Structure 1
Amino acid sequence: MASRPRSSNSCSSNPRSSRLRRALLAALVTVSVAVPVAGAARPAAVPAPAPAVLAPLRAATPAALDERYAATRDDIRAAERMAAGHGDRRRAAVLRALADPVRHFLSFDGRDGGRTAEVFGDLSRAERIAVLVPGADTSLDRYERFRAGAVALQQELDGRTAVVAWLGYGTPGTVSLEALTQGRADEAAPQLKDFVRELSAAARPVARTSLLCHSYGSVVCARAASGLRVADIVLYGSPGTGADNVAALRTRATVWAGRGGNDWIADVPHTRLQLPFITVGLGADPVSKGFGARIFDAGDGGHSDYLRPGSVSLANIARIVNGQTPEAPRA
């Protein structure tokens, strides 16, 4: 039986609880600052050439998509050659796999850890489009776990749906001060808005687009939500969005939220702490009643299990993409 998501706001009126949350958040900040981050810099340290400047995708016809996929494949191969010349065999192997002709990328930039937008399914025929926005610690060197979720979702859907895995920003490290602030999301939101707008303009007029936002990706989606023409915004494994409630997102989309019963993100304090020169914390819990999202059953999985094949969460997220009503959490 699936567990009902825990709400960390359930005792917000209790001063002792409020102090505890602040203390926990302060501890997280201390750990984030104190933990060495030398390893986190490695993905960005591998050199890559600037990608070719591509014209906007005006229409997602088979011919136009083939041309775009070929252009990005050339960019990937150029990045592979540079990584190999730099002596990074691991990055070169990753890029070699990405350049396989069966893979389809709308965009690619190998610099600064990598930026990609990979398509799964036939975008030219798609009546529904799901755009996946990843959370922390997602880069070219850790891309396969992100891709695996996109593949699992595509397999859960029918042939009239395309899934786009959008790694369009520099994600923060899980253990970092940046993961507790909106800074990276503020930088990423304009890129996500531009991408979704171009995608929507190029897709079939009947195409229904959903934003699927995992972990810190939910902060990015929240910052991009205003004015974006999408049917659904799905927040899962969210540490908060930087907004107090759905109304603050200023979106006409239906906002959904779910959290697995064994997701450690439930223990992150959903509050904000004003420090000198920075505000730390991402605010209200999206699965709390006060936030106002529609809650779906995310099962008993952990933080990385939402798109795991056979999971309750994957089935319900697929229902949302299909325009269907997902199962609600059981009492």
Structure 2
Amino acid sequence: MVVPVSAAARPRIPAPGPAALAPPTTATLDQAYTANRANAAEASRMAAAHGDRTRAAADRAMAAPSRHFLTFDGRGQGLAVEVLGDLAHADRVAVLVPGSDTTLETYGRFRAGAAALQDRLNSLDHRHGTHGSHGTHGSTSRPHTAVIAWLGYETPGTVSTTVLTTGRAEDAAPPLTRFIRELRGVVGEKAHVSLLCHSYGTVVCGRAARGLDVDDIALIGSPGTGADSVSALRTSARIWAARGADDWIVNVPHVHADLFGTTVGFGADPVSPAFGAHVFAAGAGSHSDYFKPGSVSLDNLARIVLGDTSEVSRA
């Protein structure tokens, strides 16, 4: 196995510390959104003064009045947790966990996937009308959906040694567990929460699965989760998996190997029959196409979030 060389470290960009906020509630969401937009605006000013135009532009975009962040931290690679939709009234919530090379500079493409999912959720809802299984507390009203883009951990670089090990995932699991617990404080225990995990994000979700109060976990473009089967994840969540026909991740060996005292690789392939997940169709897409508008994978992910599991097309 060839281990890539880590990319050169970039200088640290000055930024304010994150806003000091208590865990959110439905009553304090707007306060959190306002505080984090102000923090992003200050981070943009500091990055511009430092001469980093790319980061300044990324931060400035996040400070727009239309953006709703539960978390923003402009230091280092940056952290951001953004809400699309009306979280205060949501009874169907999707939380997206990204893979490698997702930073504040590249956040736009991650957010684009979240926005495409929210658009598809809205279009499916309007097309099919009222669904009795979706309403809050068993009512027959239409579902209220929200999508959360969770860049809540420092992702590894694609060209790095860290992307081959579970180290970053082990660091990310506690904050993801904490976030889901805080999310339940906003949406309540009866809301249906789906975790959609992409690429290295599936390793994060695999490490966190045991402690997560979620209903569905979808593993897309996964190199493996670090677990050999669904039962090894030790979760009551329903586990889904998919891989696009043109996804290069198929070439990643599904093995564990000890290399200089570090375990390299992530084990079983989540789309293999032996793993035991509900495998769904992802079409002919590549590694970055799972949330592409009009794709088979996006349609299936939206149906999982809405609970239309009988409508999910299988691989």
User: Does 2:71 align with 1:107?
Assistant: yes
Q: Distance in 1 between matches of 2:200 and 2:14?
A: 26
Post-superposition shift, 1:257?
0.2
User: Does 2:7 align with 1:37?
Assistant: yes
Q: How does 1:55-94 map to 2 (within 5 A)?
A: 55-57=22-24, 59-61=25-27, 64-94=28-58
Q: Deviations over 1:200-219 (max 9, x none)?
A: 12114431100000000000
Post-superposition shift, 1:177?
1.3
Partner residue, 1:96: 60
Partner residue, 1:51: 18
Partner residue, 2:266: 282
Partner residue, 1:250: 234
Paired AA for residue 94 in structure 2? A
Q: Distance in 2 between matches of 1:205 and 1:228?
A: 12
Q: Distance in 1 between matches of 2:159 and 2:52?
A: 25
Partner residue, 2:138: none
Is the 1:147–1:165 Cα contact (8 Å) retained in structure 2? yes
Partner residue, 2:313: 327
Partner residue, 1:222: 206
Post-superposition shift, 1:227?
2.7
Q: Distance in 1 between matches of 2:97 and 2:184?
A: 16
Q: Distance in 2 between matches of 1:205 and 1:185?
A: 26
Match of 1:140 among 101, 104, 129: 104
SS of corresponding position for 2:269: coil
Q: Distance in 1 between matches of 2:233 and 2:120?
A: 29
**How many matched pairs?**
293
Paired AA for residue 194 in structure 1? R
Paired AA for residue 80 in structure 2? T
Q: Distance in 1 between matches of 2:163 and 2:211?
A: 25
Partner residue, 2:128: none
Greater relative contact order: 1 or 2 (C-alpha under 8 angstroms, separation 6 or more)?
A: 1
Paired AA for residue 327 in structure 1? S
Post-superposition shift, 1:310?
0.1
Post-superposition shift, 1:47?
1.8
Paired AA for residue 167 in structure 1? L
Match of 2:278 among 294, 305, 314: 294
Is the 1:124–1:204 Cα contact (8 Å) retained in structure 2? no
Q: How does 1:254-273 map to 2 (within 5 A)?
A: 254-273=238-257
SS of corresponding position for 2:88: coil
User: Does 2:82 align with 1:118?
Assistant: yes
Calculate the aligned-residue CA RMSD, in Å.
1.1
Post-superposition shift, 1:130?
0.2
Q: Distance in 2 between matches of 1:274 and 1:283?
A: 12
Is the 1:129–1:207 Cα contact (8 Å) retained in structure 2? yes
Partner residue, 1:5: none
> Which ranges of structure 1 fall in alignment gaps of 5 or more residues?
1-25
SS of corresponding position for 2:211: coil
Match of 1:183 among 157, 167, 178: 167
Post-superposition shift, 1:52?
2.1
Q: Deviations over 1:265-311 (max 9, x none)?
A: 00100001111221111111000011111100011100000000000
Q: Distance in 2 between matches of 1:227 and 1:94?
A: 33
Post-superposition shift, 1:81?
1.4
SS of corresponding position for 1:274: strand
TM-score normalised according to structure 2 size: 0.91
Q: Distance in 1 between matches of 2:22 and 2:181?
A: 14
User: Does 2:224 align with 1:240?
Assistant: yes
Partner residue, 1:303: 287
Q: Distance in 1 between matches of 2:76 and 2:169?
A: 16
Partner residue, 2:130: none
Q: Deviations over 1:97-128 (max 9, x none)?
A: 11001010001011121101000000011110
Is the 1:262–1:300 Cα contact (8 Å) retained in structure 2? yes
Partner residue, 1:149: 113
Moved over 2 A (4+): none
> Which ranges of structure 2 fall in alignment gaps of 5 or more residues?
123-142
